[in-house]
Amino acid sequence: MKKIIKSGNSELIIKKSKFYSSCFELESTSAFENKIKEFKQKYKDASHYPFAYRVIDDRKVLYEKYSDDSEPFGVAGVPMLNLIKNNLIINACIITARYFGGIKLGKGNLLGAYLDSAKLALKDSVASEIIDYTRYKIVTDYKNYQKIKHLIEIPEIEKEHIEFEKDVVVNFKVIKSCEEDIITKLRQIGIQNIIKIID
């Protein structure tokens, strides 16, 4: 899965109709209204503003929404959404502004124009792989903490915070693909009180 780390934009002219697309990160469904408002202010008086987005919220619930914005059904919103999905991108939105140039394109050409414009905006953006982590907490004595100090410094582990009181409490997160190996190593050096944190 990937996310957008740098927005992308495109401009496409087909038979005097102008298409302006933007592809950007969308962190929540509630943020969408401000984003489309800003887009409409940038491209005022366009004939249509179709869009599509995919967002996963903090509860890991997936939301997908699209609109053709009065264009013929299926020529804009769905192709944009499928473009996002097929590229395995999440928390992203594509919006297009179309200025009608006076020449009807027909449904097939219109679909192609919206899709090409969206593809160009996506190509202009920069996406990055999302790394999944699992959070853990270790409660141990000071002697055993000395054993794990070197292990929690490896790149696959990200320390969140450490508390030094009667015992040492280490809060960290580990890359999911390395999770089993890391936990096995911790148990092998005698660390048994390993608590998995469920977000």
The one-letter amino acid code at 59 reads R
Q: What is the pLDDT of residue 92?
A: 96
| DSSP-derived secondary structure for 68-104 | -TTSSTTSSHHHHHHHHHHTTB-SEEEEEEEE--SS-
Residue with tokens 């502004």: 97
State residue 58's pLDDT score: 74
May I ask the CATH class of domain 2-129?
alpha beta
Would you say the CATH fold of 133-197 matches that of 2-129?
A: no
Tens of pLDDT, residues 6-38: 999 999 999 999 999 999 999 999 999 999 999
Q: What would the pLDDT profile of 37-52 be if each residue is shown by its tens digit?
A: 999 999 999 999 999 9
Res 178: pLDDT? 83
Strand order in the sheet with 17-25: 8-14, 17-25, 92-99, 51-56, 62-67
CA pseudo-torsion sign 85, 90, 91, 97: negative
The pLDDT value given to residue 51: 98
CA dihedral 39, 42, 43, 49 (to 10 degrees): 10
Long-range own/partner contacts, residues 189-195 (CB < 8 A, 24 or more apart): 189/144, 189/147, 189/148, 189/151, 190/144, 190/147, 191/138, 191/140, 191/144, 191/147, 191/148, 193/138, 193/139, 193/140, 194/136, 194/137, 194/138, 195/136, 195/137, 195/138, 195/139
Q: Specify the pLDDT at position 148.
A: 86
Per CATH, the number for 133-197 is 3.30.70.260
What 3-state DSSP class applies to 62? Answer: strand
Using 50 as the pLDDT threshold, list the residues of the chain that sit under it: none
Q: Does this model's pTM top 0.75?
A: no
Q: What is the pLDDT of residue 19?
A: 98
Res 199: pLDDT: 65
Domain chopping of the chain, boundaries: 2-129, 133-197
What is the largest distance, in Å, between two alpha-carbon atoms of the chain?
78
Helix axes 107-124, 77-86, angle to 10 degrees: 40
Residue 104 carries which side chain, given as an amino acid letter?
K
Query: To which H or E segment does residue 132 belong?
Result: none
- Is the CB of residue 25 less than 8 Å from the CB of residue 3? yes
